[in-house]
Chains A and B, each alone.
Chain A
Amino acid sequence: MISNAIAVEGLKKRFDDVQALSGISFNVGKGELFGFLGPNGAGKTTTINVLTGLARADAGTVVIGGIDCTHKPRAAQHLVGIVPDESNLYPELTGFGNLCFCAALYGMSIKERKQRAQRLLADFGLSKAADRKFATYSKGMKRKLTVAAGIIHRPRILFLDEPTTGIDVASARGLRRLIAELNREGITIFLTTHYIEEAERLCDRIAFIVSGRIVKTDSVAHLLQPLKGRHILEITFSGARASIKQELSREFPGLDFELSKHGIIRVEAGEEIRVGPLVRFLEEQDAEVAEARKVRPSLEEVFIKVTGIEAEAMRAEKEKKGKGR
């Protein structure tokens, strides 16, 4: 039996008139890579803040690494590493200086902190930038160094809050590889993300959180199980009548239709979907079909079904927020 690295029961947190967490409960097993997936404002960062002692819970219990942190939120800080959604390293220190300072905060000796910093800079491909000030780093380099700072003291549990947000594709891919490696080395990872494909690729188990409530928790394999053998088609069109969904359902009774606000109709079936008849029918109904594409069933479909939130809208909202910062 896998024992728990994190055990949370009935966690509640309120900020003025906003109920940020409404009694959430979950467990994260030792060595597990656990994903916390949800839209902006769902309560992901608040959960991390409560678990790491940066915020106080109004109710509920928190046990981290076997230590009851319910009344002593900072009691397990020596066991955990935190990579926040925005870097909190010192812009005026060099990459090497930042890592050595973070190591010192965990009481490592001067020799040990220098060795560890050099090793991590090499592992994260930042050796050449070791003596440059953190302020001069690119976004990708900053994220990497922030992850390195989070694991400088060899934590048993690592909290990663939106680690790949706002960085380029190559850096994000490199970072995902590093996260997977850290998990293989035995570190329990609690990852929050709004990138569904990232969660699907990396995580063992995932919890969907919406408006401070966990709506579903399961392993990626189990979450995807209902989609096995399902076929999905997305048709982008314009100019159709409002009743088009009902008309389609009447004409094609074996297919499930879902109409989005953005002029996209999702078609789902347990067998191969024939595109031609659908497109012809839509055109007969005066609709102009722009695109029809088959979609690989993914966690995104599960997320949409469970939460009712469109992944695309969730991503767009987050990107907009990121640019605005």
Chain B
Amino acid sequence: MRRWRAFFAILAKDMRTYYLKPPNISWGIVFPLAWTAMFFLRSGSGLGSVPSLLPGVVSVAILFGTTSMLAVTVTFEKKNRSFQRLLLAPIPFELLMLAKTGGAILFGTANAFVPVIIAGFIVDLSGVVWIAFVPAVILIAMSSAFLGLFIAVAVSEVFEAQTFSNFFRFPMIFLCGLFFPITKLPVFIRPLSYAFPLTYGADVLHGAVQGEHELPYLLDFGALAAFCIVLFAASLWNIRRKWIL
């Protein structure tokens, strides 16, 4: 019980302090909107293109919402030493880091539904397989948040966190099949696509919205879960190694 009080206190503080600030809320709305508009105009194929664009926009909204904030907040707290206070708290290290990433996961998940709600006003979404869509959104948010944590632990300055995030984010966006099918990528690049968690998330989202997916759902969800575990474990290992000297 005591541990969970600490967990929710960390989560609530981060939500209040970082994620629910007006600039972030507006970022969470404006960014997916801008992406939606950009791809909508680019496709030039009218409202009919919305379902094909939706998985990509949802994924990008999650990816940027989670990685940007978490990498920066953890690096910032490490720099001003307030992260040390968390390390001194008598709660298991794993729970502490889950609390720290929890805010990013919730924020990323909420971001994902901004384009969905907007799309709901434009096209009929009754055909969407929500039972696949929602877990995929949550798993993408989790894997992206853990990627953000991994980045935050790897750097020491806030600006480095942003730069390092982009090193992962941009290749991921263009190579994970969100906007260009993986099958149309050069053969030698394809293996790289399968090294990104977003590839599997995007595949589920495409399947859930349009009914077309390349891999079995089980493999997609399994891969996403594996990425979550590996990234989280690697981050914890790195924190223990680098921050607890």
Residues on A facing B (Cβ under 8 Å): 15, 49, 52-56, 73-74, 77-78, 82, 84, 86-93, 101-102, 104-109, 149
Closest Cβ of chain B to A22, distance in Å, is 17
Return chain B residues, CB-CB under 8 Å to A49. Answer: 245
Q: Are A56 and B89 in contact (CB under 8 A)?
A: no
Q: Are A84 and B2 in contact (CB under 8 A)?
A: no
Rounded to whole Å, the gap between the CB of A162 and the closest CB of chain B is: 14
Whether A88 contacts B84 by the Cβ 8 Å rule is yes
Q: When chains A and B are docked, how far (Å) is the Cα of A130 from the Cα of B115?
A: 41
Asked if B88 CB lies within 8 Å of chain A CBs, one says yes
Q: With the chains together, A78 CA to B81 CA distance in Å?
A: 20
Q: How far is the CA of A52 from the CA of B1 in the complex (A)?
A: 23
In this assembly, does B163 line the interface, its C-beta being within 8 Å of a C-beta of chain A?
no
By a CB distance below 8 angstroms, the chain A residues around B85 are 88-89, 102, 105, 149
Are B84 and A54 touching (Cβ within 8 A)? yes
Which residues does chain A contribute within 8 Å of B91, judged by CB atoms?
A: 105, 107
Contact A88 B6 (CB under 8 A): no
- CB-based nearest A residue for B21: A92
Smallest Cβ distance from B142 to chain A, in angstroms? 24
Complex CA distance for A149 and B88, rounded to whole angstroms: 12
Q: A104 to B245, Cβ gap below 8 A?
A: no
Tell me which residues across on chain B come within 8 A of A82, comparing CB atoms: 88
**Given contacts A53-B88, A74-B93, A108-B5, A84 and B17 within 8 Å (CB-CB):** no
Main secondary structure of the interface of A (DSSP, over half): loop
List the count of A-B residue pairs having beta carbons below 8 Å apart.
Answer: 73
- The reply to whether the CB of B155 lies closer than 8 angstroms to some CB of chain A is no
Which residues of chain A are near B84, meaning CB under 8 Å? 54, 84, 88
Q: Return B8 CB to nearest CB of chain A, in Å.
A: 8
CB distance from A123 to the nearest CB of B (A): 21
In this complex, the member of A88, A90, A93, A102 whose beta carbon has the largest number of chain B beta carbons within 10 angstroms is: A88
Min distance, Cβ A53 to any Cβ of chain B, angstroms: 7
Distance in Å from the Cβ of B88 to the closest Cβ of chain A?
A: 5
A-B contact pairs, 20 of them (CB 8 A): A15-B245, A53-B244, A54-B244, A55-B244, A77-B88, A77-B90, A78-B90, A88-B81, A89-B82, A90-B13, A104-B5, A105-B6, A105-B10, A106-B90, A107-B1, A107-B3, A107-B5, A107-B90, A107-B91, A109-B5
B6 touches A106 (CB 8 A): yes
What residue in chain B is nearest A90 (Cβ atoms)? Answer: B82
Scoring B residues 83 to 121 as 1 if CB is less than 8 Å from chain A, else 0, what string do you get? 111111111010000000000000000000000000000
Q: Given the complex of chains A and B, what is the CA–CA distance between A108 and B9 in angstroms?
A: 10
Q: How far is the CA of A183 from the CA of B110 in the complex (A)?
A: 49
CB distance from A131 to the nearest CB of B (A): 15
B80 at the binding interface (Cβ < 8 Å): yes
12 other A-B residue contacts (CB within 8 Å) besides A55-B244, A106-B2, A107-B5: A52-B88, A53-B87, A87-B81, A88-B80, A91-B80, A93-B17, A105-B89, A105-B90, A105-B91, A106-B6, A107-B6, A108-B5
Given A53-B244, A56-B244, the answer on whether A106 and B82 have CB atoms closer than 8 Å is no
Q: B1: which A residues are within 8 A, CB to CB?
A: 107
Whether the pair A90, B81 counts as a contact (CB closer than 8 A) is no
Contacts of A93 in B (CB 8 A): 13, 17
- Give chain B residues whose Cβ lies under 8 Å from the Cβ of A87: 81
| Residue from the set B5, B86, B87 with the largest chain A CB neighbour count within 10 Å | B5
